[in-house]
């Protein structure tokens, strides 16, 4: 309610859901206390979901799980810590974000509203949702690669080989 009061003083009404989304983004990262038998390093900052997946995998393999403590990022840092480098670059520290993305070879999957607006595509909501679902289906439809066995065609390297191949054929 105190956060909403600050907005109300400015003449802005804000829904609780919006505040929840912002707080969720601010609490998305955790700091590794002990890596256990995972691939993380002590002190590393990782997404909470990524850590949970790694711990599930470690548990399934009877390995030691990583321990962690939650991090509270400021709004600016939380915005820059998004998976979308296009979205992060549009917010602040554009040069640093784009340089980091180029050096590390990042690819932006363009899943959010902001990055789709920036590149001029339909947003993945409303009437644009069907478009994005169809693109996803087509992209992942090719995952099943059909392998067709074909008898290799012999290649003659010399004239003698050519004559030998003609006799066999």
Domain boundaries, the chain: 2-81, 107-169
Q: What is the pLDDT of residue 32?
A: 94
pLDDT above 70: percentage of residues in the chain: 83
CATH of 2-81, one of 3.10.20.30, 1.10.1790.20, 1.10.287.110, 1.10.287.950: 1.10.1790.20
Residues 6+ apart with CB under 8 A from 122: 116, 128, 131, 132
Residue 46 CB coordination number (10 Å): 19
Q: What is the pLDDT of residue 156?
A: 57
Q: What is the pLDDT of residues 55-96, one digit of tens each?
A: 999 999 999 999 999 998 887 777 777 778 898 888 888 898
Mapped onto helix, strand or coil, the DSSP state of residue 34 is strand
Q: What is the pLDDT of residues 11-48, one digit of tens each?
A: 988 888 888 888 888 888 999 999 999 999 999 999 89
Q: What predicted TM-score, i.e. pTM, was given to this entire model? A: 0.56
């Amino acid at each position: 309610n105190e956060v909403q009061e600050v907005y109300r003083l400015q003449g802005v009404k804000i829904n609780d859901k919006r505040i929840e989304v912002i707080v969720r983004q601010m609490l998305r990262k955790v700091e590794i206390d002990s890596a256990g038998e995972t691939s993380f390093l002590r002190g590393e900052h990782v997404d909470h979901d990524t850590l949970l997946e790694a711990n599930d995998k470690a548990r399934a393999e009877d390995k030691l799980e990583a321990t962690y403590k939650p991090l509270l990022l400021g709004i600016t840092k939380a915005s820059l810590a998004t998976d979308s480098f296009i979205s992060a670059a549009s917010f602040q520290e554009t040069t640093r974000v784009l340089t980091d993305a180029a050096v590390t070879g990042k690819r932006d999957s363009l899943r959010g509203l902001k990055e789709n607006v920036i590149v001029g595509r339909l947003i993945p909501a409303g009437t644009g949702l069907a478009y994005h679902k169809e693109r996803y289906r087509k992209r992942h439809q090719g995952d099943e690669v059909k392998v067709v066995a074909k008898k290799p065609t012999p290649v003659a390297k010399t004239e003698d080989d050519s004559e030998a191949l003609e006799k066999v054929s």
